[in-house]
Each structure stands twice: as C-alpha cells, then as structure tokens.
Amino acid sequence: MLNKPEEFIMAILAGIWVVITFIICRYLQLPTDTGLLVTTLTLVWALVFFLLWQRARTRNIWPLFLGLLVMCWWRAIHYGSSEIMLNSDGSTTKLIHWYGSWTALIIYALIPVIAGYAFKWWQHKRQRPQPSA
C-alpha cells in the first residue's frame, strides 16, 4: 500500500489534516454530532483523494476535491447560521440566516472549484509551446 516514501508522508499529512479538523471542530464548540460528521467526512475525503493521488488520477480533478472539502463543512456552517427564536406563545422557531441557506452553501462549494479550474486554465495559457527541432 505505502511503497514509496512520498506515499507514507502524504498518508501522515492526511491523518494530521483529519486531526486538525477535529481540533477546529472542538475549538468552535460545535455539537458532538456535527463535529464528528465534519471529521468523518473529512476522513473519507482524505482517503479517497489519497487513493486517487496514489494512482496518479488527480491531475484534472483536484479543483473538484477542493469543493468537496468545503462541502464537508456544510453542516457546521448551517449550524453556525441557525438561531432559535422564542415566540410570544412560548414555542420556538429555528431561523436560518442567508449564509446558511442551500444557495449560499452551494456557492461556497463552487468558488474553489471555479477558482481551481481558472488557475489551471491560466497555467495552460501561460505555457509557451516548445520550439520543434
């Protein structure tokens, strides 16, 4: 599985990334279920990306994985945007602010995807053709 030194290093970095995600969730004082969901989704994301990277299949799809990484945090963003309102009759209503709406969450995920592919396009346009001999 880990035949080359760079694979071992990337596996260690992926593990550190997942641990840092868990620490950030604890620091933000997210509920346990939300923090564990974000950490688990990040672990699955890191595992899939590592396996694809190991087989050299990430060259054209890495911007998609940036968007998927943002999607791992959707639940935390949604939780942070919600507010419990107490009504006059004693009941409660959950209010979701605009930055936690589905539209905003999708836009958050699309921004790194679009930026990543724009960067790839810019790099491709910057390359000069090699003169033929």
Per-residue pLDDT tens over the stretch 74-103: 999 999 898 888 888 888 888 888 888 999
What is the mean predicted confidence (pLDDT) over 105-110? 96
Question: What CA–CA distance (Å, rounded) separates 110 from 74?
Answer: 13
Q: Residue 132 pLDDT > 80, yes or no? A: no
Residue 49, pLDDT score = 95
Residue 36, pLDDT score = 96
Residue 70, pLDDT score = 97
pLDDT category, 57, cuts 50, 70, 90? very high
Q: Residue 73, Cβ neighbours under 10 Å: how many?
A: 21
What is the mean predicted confidence (pLDDT) over 127-131? 72
What kind and span of H or E run contains 60?
Answer: none
Residue 1, pLDDT score = 65
pTM of the model: 0.84
- Judge whether 17 and 42 are in contact, CB under 8 Å: yes
Residue 133, pLDDT score = 60
- Chain mean pLDDT for the chain: 91
3-state class of 129 per DSSP? coil
8-38 residue pLDDT tens: 999 999 999 999 999 999 999 999 999 999 9
